[in-house]
Amino acid sequence: MQMELINNDYAPTRVGAISNGVRKILIVNLIIISSIVLVSGCGPKRPLQEIVDARIAIQKAKEAGAREYAPKRLENAQKYLTRALEAKRKKEAEELAREAEVDARIAESVARRKKEEEKSRAEEVLKAKRLARQEAEETITRAQEAISKAEKENKEVGVAKDKLEKAREALEKERFAEAKKIAREAKELALKAGAKLPDYHKVKKGETLKIIAKEVYRDPEKWILIYEANRDKIRNANIIHPGQILSIPKE
How does residue 193 score in pLDDT terms, banded at 50, 70 and 90?
Answer: confident
Query: Does 115 score more than 60 pLDDT?
Result: yes
Least confident of 89-93, 97-101, 104-108, 213-217: 213-217
pLDDT of 14 over the 70 cut: no
What is the rounded distance in angstroms from the CA atom of residue 145 to the CA atom of residue 34? 81
Global pTM reads: 0.53
**16-23: average pLDDT:** 55
- Report how far apart, in Å, the C-alpha atoms of 79 and of each of 2, 12, 186 are: 22, 28, 65
Tell me: pLDDT of 16 over 60. no
Predicted confidence band of residue 23 (pLDDT cuts 50, 70, 90): low
CA distances (Å), origin 5, targets 49, 96, 135, 238: 9, 15, 68, 99
Q: In terms of C-beta density within 10 A (0-12 exposed, 13-18 middle, 19 or more buried), how is residue 155 classed?
A: middle
Query: Mean pLDDT score of the chain, rounded to an integer?
Result: 84
Give the C-alpha separation, 23 to 21, whole Å: 5
Q: What does the pLDDT look like over 42-82, one tens digit per residue?
A: 433 456 899 999 999 999 999 999 999 999 999 999 999 99
Q: Residue 57: phi, psi to the nearest 5? A: -65, -40
Binned at pLDDT 50, 70 and 90, residue 243 comes out as: very high
- Domain 200-247, CATH: 3.10.350
The string of pLDDT tens digits covering residues 195-227 is 777 888 999 999 999 999 988 887 899 999 999
Q: What is the mean predicted confidence (pLDDT) over 4-31?
A: 47
Phi, psi of 201 (to 5 degrees): -140, 130
